[in-house]
């Protein structure tokens, strides 16, 4: 092996450092000695510095604020035309389904989760598999929207990911051996798990999925060492939280915004996980639709006393204390929700051009919100998709100005009592933007938002709750708005809400976005193209055909003086399953399952 003359003294210094640590550890205890000697350890500091430390990617979002911005600039507007594959890795198996994951890179290894609750460790130099873990899934799991997984989390000497049967697994980073395996919730009642977990101060924090089954959304924090629960926070009012095995506080105020007993099966799934703002020491989790979809059953369509019908804290963003699970603030994007406008989309912490600490989030309901980072207070909201029909705007308090005649009708008021009045509503229930994460650029100060232009016919039907059965009380058909495109990647100035440019795509966008200091915006399309655009103009500078649709989340890092870019390709997710006329329009797309890694050609 070749070695430059300058490296040897550094290695010697490192060995001396190690020796010093060895002696210090030995003086404390033999146990501590063993722990420091065995393997590399991902620390809280590693997680906190993930954006700046470009030689590794150890968090979902390339930083817990979820900016998805890299300071790397070797691949830039001038050089990106030379970007070529370094290696590709097949996830194998007969069941190729949506690959919505984000790779992690640590200590020479890439960790990637796959459909059907699989996790792969890959040699990051060669693309060769080191080990693979396949969760043994029971019969009868109830994932709503494909058998996807959105990524893992790393801390200490372990890697963690959630499985479709609503369990959380901790594996040894080096071997893939199971360290612990814990139940988040009962899959038979409709719970599942797909999000990347979040780790803060040694606690692993997860949400849950299952909002279409009348489950109750919850955030849980566990000890990463043991998997034991430290606190739980249900997100629907009336439910009790826990801390250290004892009841802590009730969420909200019983029956303040929910009529009768509906809060008991009130939905609000926390299915996309959360972000962490280190400046205010706050977890931010979004919550899904209130259950069932038929809003008239929840008093949303009727004039009521006070706020009954708002259905807190469904369709909201929650600021949560990471130590106790107490709710610090809430902001409800869609009170009286009746269109499946889950409020789960990611909340990104950033500093605006005037130096204010802000959060931004692009909601399913079609509006781009800016919130105050200190208390979650409303700052502004602007539409980011065309022809929004359910609200004419957002008022100065952040509350929608409803078009009540665009709420699907009450079936109990219908002549035959089995189908309420149908409306055509925009956006569709798959959202102006769905789960696919946007990115923020520290270079331009803009957000890059993967959005879709579509609407839906939607109507309500009678429904009663039955455990483990779909709990909607609605029917629907999604339709494109325009002939020539559905997908639309938009550069949005968060200070003005202005759309600076737009990149239109035939198929709906369903993958994540990444920005770099090289002035690039990376994203993939269902047609299989992995693209880099100019962050100032939207001009396409590079594109590569990956062989299957991209619904994954790109990352970049550096190794041996070279910048690498990776994305997972494999078409699937909610669109083919729920997309109505749009699903028919894209039914020619091929499935797959490949990790692609790129670098500059010499
Ligand atoms: Ca939903």
Average pLDDT on 583-591 reads: 94
User: Which CA distances in Å does 405 have to 49, 284, 402, 476, 520?
Assistant: 49, 33, 9, 17, 43
Q: What is the pLDDT of residue 36?
A: 46
pTM of the model: 0.93
Residue by residue, DSSP assigns 176-227 as --EEEEEE-S-GGGT-B--SPPEEETTEEEE--B-TTTT-B-EEEEEETTT-
User: Which CA distances in Å does 5 have to 2, 9, 15, 16?
Assistant: 10, 9, 17, 19
Q: Residue 423: is its pLDDT beyond 70? A: yes
pLDDT category at 301 given cuts 50, 70, 90 is confident
**Separation of CA 131 and ligand 1 centre (Å):** 35
| Average pLDDT value over all residues in the chain | 93
Q: Residue 31: is its pLDDT beyond 80? A: no
**Separation of CA 110 and ligand 1 centre (Å):** 32
More confident residue, 40 or 23: 40
Q: What is the pLDDT of residue 20?
A: 54
Closest by Cα among 341, 363, 362, 466 to 408: 341
**Separation of CA 342 and ligand 1 centre (Å):** 5
Task: Quick: pLDDT tens for 456-480.
Answer: 999 999 999 999 999 999 999 999 9
Task: Quick: pLDDT tens for 343-371.
Answer: 999 999 999 999 999 999 999 999 999 99
More confident residue, 580 or 306: 580
Of 20-29, 262-271, 395-404, 510-519, least confident by mean pLDDT is: 20-29
Residues whose CB is less than 8 angstroms from the CB of residue 254 and which lie 6 or more positions away in sequence, other chains included: 237, 238, 263
Contact 75, 516 (CB under 8 A): yes
Task: Quick: pLDDT tens for 486-514.
Answer: 999 999 999 999 999 999 999 999 999 99
Average pLDDT on 322-336 reads: 98
Percent of the chain with pLDDT over 90: 90
Average pLDDT on 568-575 reads: 97
Closest by Cα among 340, 383, 339, 331 to 359: 331
Contact 376, 443 (CB under 8 A): no
Of 8-12, 277-281, 297-301, least confident by mean pLDDT is: 8-12
pLDDT category at 602 given cuts 50, 70, 90 is confident
Q: What's the rounded Cα separation, in Å, for the pair 9 and 19?
A: 15
Cis-peptide, bond into residue 292, ω within 30° of zero: yes
Q: What is the pLDDT of residue 506?
A: 98
Q: Residue 37: is its pLDDT beyond 50? A: no
**Separation of CA 353 and ligand 1 centre (Å):** 34
Contact 196, 270 (CB under 8 A): no
Q: What is the pLDDT of residue 191?
A: 98
Q: What is the pLDDT of residue 21?
A: 53
Q: Residue 35: is its pLDDT beyond 50? A: no
Average pLDDT on 156-177 reads: 98
**Separation of CA 58 and ligand 1 centre (Å):** 29
Q: Residue 15: is its pLDDT beyond 80? A: no
Average pLDDT on 41-55 reads: 98
Q: What is the pLDDT of residue 121?
A: 98
**Separation of CA 288 and ligand 1 centre (Å):** 6
**Separation of CA 370 and ligand 1 centre (Å):** 22
The burial class, CB within 10 Å (0-12 / 13-18 / 19+), for 70 is buried
**Separation of CA 267 and ligand 1 centre (Å):** 9
Query: What tokens does 16 get?
Result: 């001396």
Q: What's the rounded Cα separation, in Å, for the pair 43 and 37?
A: 15
Q: What's the rounded Cα separation, in Å, for the pair 253 and 324?
A: 19
**Separation of CA 101 and ligand 1 centre (Å):** 20
pLDDT category at 34 given cuts 50, 70, 90 is very low
Q: Residue 254: is its pLDDT beyond 70? A: yes
Q: Which of 340, 342, 363, 535 does the annotation list as catalytic?
A: 340
Q: Residue 377: is its pLDDT beyond 90? A: yes
Report CA 123 to chain centroid distance, whole Å.
26
**Separation of CA 589 and ligand 1 centre (Å):** 25
495 is catalytic: no
Of 23-37, 174-188, 234-248, 330-344, least confident by mean pLDDT is: 23-37
Q: What is the pLDDT of residue 5?
A: 37
More confident residue, 96 or 217: 217
Q: Residue 223: is its pLDDT beyond 50? A: yes
**Separation of CA 339 and ligand 1 centre (Å):** 9
Contact 449, 432 (CB under 8 A): no
pLDDT category at 14 given cuts 50, 70, 90 is low
Q: What is the pLDDT of residue 18?
A: 57
**Separation of CA 295 and ligand 1 centre (Å):** 13
Q: What is the pLDDT of residue 39?
A: 62
**Separation of CA 428 and ligand 1 centre (Å):** 12
């Amino acid at each position: 092996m070749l070695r430059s003359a300058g490296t040897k003294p550094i290695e010697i210094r490192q060995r001396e450092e190690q020796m010093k640590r060895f002696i210090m550890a030995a003086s404390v205890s033999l146990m501590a000695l063993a722990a420091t000697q065995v393997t590399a350890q991902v620390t809280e500091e590693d997680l906190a510095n993930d954006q700046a430390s470009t030689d590794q990617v150890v968090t979902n979002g390339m930083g817990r604020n979820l900016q998805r911005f890299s300071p790397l600039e070797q691949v830039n507007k001038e050089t990106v035309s030379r970007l070529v594959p370094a290696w590709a890795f097949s996830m194998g198996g007969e069941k190729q389904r949506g690959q919505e994951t984000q790779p992690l890179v640590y200590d020479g290894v890439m960790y990637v989760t796959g459909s059907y609750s699989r996790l792969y460790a890959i040699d990051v130099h060669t693309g060769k598999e080191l080990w693979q873990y396949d969760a043994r899934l029971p019969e009868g799991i109830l994932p709503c929207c494909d058998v996807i997984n959105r990524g893992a989390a790393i801390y200490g000497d372990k890697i963690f990911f959630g499985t479709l049967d609503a369990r959380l697994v901790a594996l040894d980073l080096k071997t893939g051996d199971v360290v612990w395996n814990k139940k988040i919730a009962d899959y038979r009642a409709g719970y599942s798990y797909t999000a990347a977990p979040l780790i803060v101060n040694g606690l692993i924090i997860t949400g849950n999925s299952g909002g279409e089954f009348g489950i109750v959304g919850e955030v849980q924090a566990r000890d990463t060492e043991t998997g034991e629960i430290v606190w739980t926070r249900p997100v629907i009012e009336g439910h009790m939280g826990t801390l250290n095995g004892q009841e802590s506080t009730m969420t909200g105020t019983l029956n303040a915004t929910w009529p009768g007993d509906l809060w008991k099966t009130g939905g609000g799934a926390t299915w996309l996980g959360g972000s962490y703002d280190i400046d205010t020491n706050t977890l931010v989790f979004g919550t899904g639709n209130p259950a069932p979809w038929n809003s008239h059953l929840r008093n949303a369509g009727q004039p009521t006393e006070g706020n009954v019908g708002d259905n807190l804290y469904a369709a909201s963003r929650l600021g949560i204390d990471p130590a106790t699970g107490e709710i610090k603030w809430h902001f409800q994007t869609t009170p009286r929700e009746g269109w499946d406008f889950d409020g789960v989309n990611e909340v990104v912490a950033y500093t605006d051009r005037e130096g204010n600490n802000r959060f931004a989030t692009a909601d399913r309901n079609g509006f781009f919100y800016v919130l105050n980072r200190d208390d979650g207070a409303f700052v502004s909201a602007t539409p980011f998709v065309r022809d929004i029909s359910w609200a004419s705007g957002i008022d100065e308090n952040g509350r929608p100005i409803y078009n009540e005649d665009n709420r699907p009708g009450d079936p109990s008021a219908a002549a035959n009592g089995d189908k309420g009045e149908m409306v055509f509503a925009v956006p569709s229930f798959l959202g102006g933007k769905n789960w696919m994460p946007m990115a923020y650029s520290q270079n331009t100060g803009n957000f890059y938002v993967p959005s879709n232009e579509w609407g839906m016919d939607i109507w309500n039907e009678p429904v009663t709750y039955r455990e483990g059965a779909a709990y909607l009380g609605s029917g629907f058909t999604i339709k494109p708005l325009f002939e020539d495109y559905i997908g639309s990647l938009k550069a949005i100035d968060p200070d003005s809400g202005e759309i600076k440019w737009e990149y239109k795509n035939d198929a709906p966008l369903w993958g994540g976005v990444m920005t770099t200091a090289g002035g690039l915006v990376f994203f993939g399309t269902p047609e299989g193209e992995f693209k880099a655009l100019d962050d100032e103009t939207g001009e396409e500078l590079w594109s590569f055909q990956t062989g299957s649709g991209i619904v994954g989340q790109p990352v970049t890092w550096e190794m041996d003086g070279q910048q690498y870019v990776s994305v997972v390709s494999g078409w699937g997710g909610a669109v083919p399953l729920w997309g109505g006329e749009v699903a028919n329009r894209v039914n020619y797309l091929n499935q797959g399952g490949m990790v692609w890694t790129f670098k500059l050609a010499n």
